[in-house]
Amino acid sequence: MEVYEKDSAKVNVCLNVLGKRTDNFYEMEMLMTPVDLADLLRQSSDVSCGADIYIEKNIPIAAGLGDGSSERLEGVL
């Protein structure tokens, strides 16, 4: 069985830091908009043999475009 996922890039239009929470993380409001750029993920699995996972990177690494391939990959698994 093969699963295909598209992970779109996003740009933060507005970021508002509301304050620090009791767990030392910050509460934030964000307004994000998608851009026409995406990584493509494919998982091919066989229960008896494991899985093959392929990522076609189209979003530049560390470009600040909200690339979440690793997060999406975690969701596929």
Whether the Cβ atoms of residue 10 and residue 34 lie closer than 8 Å to each other: yes
Distance CA 18, CA 39 (A): 31
CATH code of the domain made up of 2-76:
3.30.230.10
Strands (E), 1-77: 2-20, 26-46, 50-56
Distance CA 54, CA 2 (A): 11
pLDDT (tens digit per residue) in 31-44: 988 888 888 888 88
- pTM, to two decimals: 0.56
Q: Please report the pLDDT score of residue 28 as a whole number.
A: 92
Q: Which residue has the tokens 């934030």?
A: 28
Q: Cα dist. 60→16, 30, 36, 57 in Å? A: 25, 22, 13, 7
pLDDT (tens digit per residue) in 3-13: 777 777 888 88
